[in-house]
Amino acid sequence: MLLFVGLGNPGREYALHRHNAGFMAIDRIAADHGFGAWKSKFQGAVAEGRLGGHKVMLLKPATFMNRSGQSVAEAMRFHKLSLGDVTVFHDELDVAFGKVKVKTGGGHAGNNGIRSIAQHITPEFQRVRIGIGHPGDKARVTGHVLGAFSRAEQPLLTELMDAISYAAPKLAEDDAPGFLTAVALKCPPPKPAKKPKNDKPDTEEDV
């Protein structure tokens, strides 16, 4: 069995927050791939199903973000899972909105859910980093992360979650490069805005 974990905070008031991008991805996978009904277990909500030929359990910890590791560790112990069986979907400030990256291990980059899981099972688990972008100012980070996706962001958010769900079987096959390729083909990342032709660089570094 594989364990796909989505990070977020439980409750309707948090449902559309950027910090709940992991919950959103897991919900879309469950709906699109015919997973069973959600049940209360392991201090969270779980749903079981298959991705390709692999049995997968989806988990949304109900412990709030900073104690997510309790729920993940309990599920791993019960099913005798190894680190290689675990993939965690979470929001990532350091990845542009509309992009997705995958990595195994590393730091928590200020994400309390990742920090908690690392404390309970060690940091060497696979992460699907769902970009929410950085507001550009440290003072605005908390409000950005704990704020809802804007109306203008909604169409791309929907496309991105569709793409993550579509590509999820690749993750079950332990094919992270294939997953990222499928996501990018289904939901091409937005191109950076071009400067008008008559704009001149302000400094030599802009050349």
Active-site annotation, residues = 19
Strands 126-131 and 100-104: antiparallel
114 Cβ contact partners less than 8 Å away, ≥ 6 residues apart: 7, 88, 90, 108, 127
In 3D space, the residue among 192, 128, 193, 188 whose CA is nearest the CA of residue 156 turns out to be: 188
71 Cβ contact partners less than 8 Å away, ≥ 6 residues apart: 42, 43, 44, 59, 61, 62, 63
Q: Are 21 and 29 in contact (CB under 8 A)?
A: no
